[in-house]
Amino acid sequence: MAINNFKNIIVHYKDGTSEEDNVNNVMAKELNDFRGWECWAGVQNITISNTGDVYRAICKVGGKLGNIYDGFEMPEDTIMCTKPSCVCAADVQLTKALPKHIDKVRIGHESKHSKQAIDNELDSLLKDYKNEK
């Protein structure tokens, strides 16, 4: 039974099925353990504390990035989740994938793994193009 009928996330299950759901339902069903998954925290959003400290997400995975008053750099790469559970709806909503399924992710910010594959493919296409001339 759905706790909330507003669908704002797609959940993919181990059996290959998927369904649209709500992040609050995911947490209520305790489907929010993403340890060992690649996460786009810091790439898709950041969190700023009331003292100006900047983190990748509410969970603070990866530690402090800096401070808005002293400076910080936005991460360009994803991070491997080390937290026992994702407890904030904003964090649950971030793109996540098991490393073996990273190629199935379709978002604007590529992970460091899929970026390398894209770069390799572009290099191959350029080489083929030059050989045709």
Taking alpha carbons only, the member of 104, 7, 96, 12 closest to residue 57 is 96
Cα separations in angstroms, 59 against 6, 16, 35? 24, 28, 12
pLDDT digits (tens, 9 = 90+) for 46-60: 999 999 999 999 999
Cα–Cα distances (Å) from 54 to 37, 61, 67, 96, 133, in that order, read 22, 11, 5, 21, 50
pLDDT of 88 reads 92
What is the domain partition of the chain in residue ranges?
1-31, 34-132
Identify any residues that bridge with 20 across adjacent strands, giving them in sequence order.
10
Mean pLDDT of 2-17: 78
**pTM of the predicted structure, to 2 decimals:** 0.71
Q: The tokens of 46 are what?
A: 């950041």
pLDDT digits (tens, 9 = 90+) for 116-131: 655 666 667 677 666 7
**Sorting pLDDT into bands at 50, 70 and 90, what band is 86?**
very high
- pLDDT tens for each residue of 15-38: 988 889 999 999 999 999 999 999
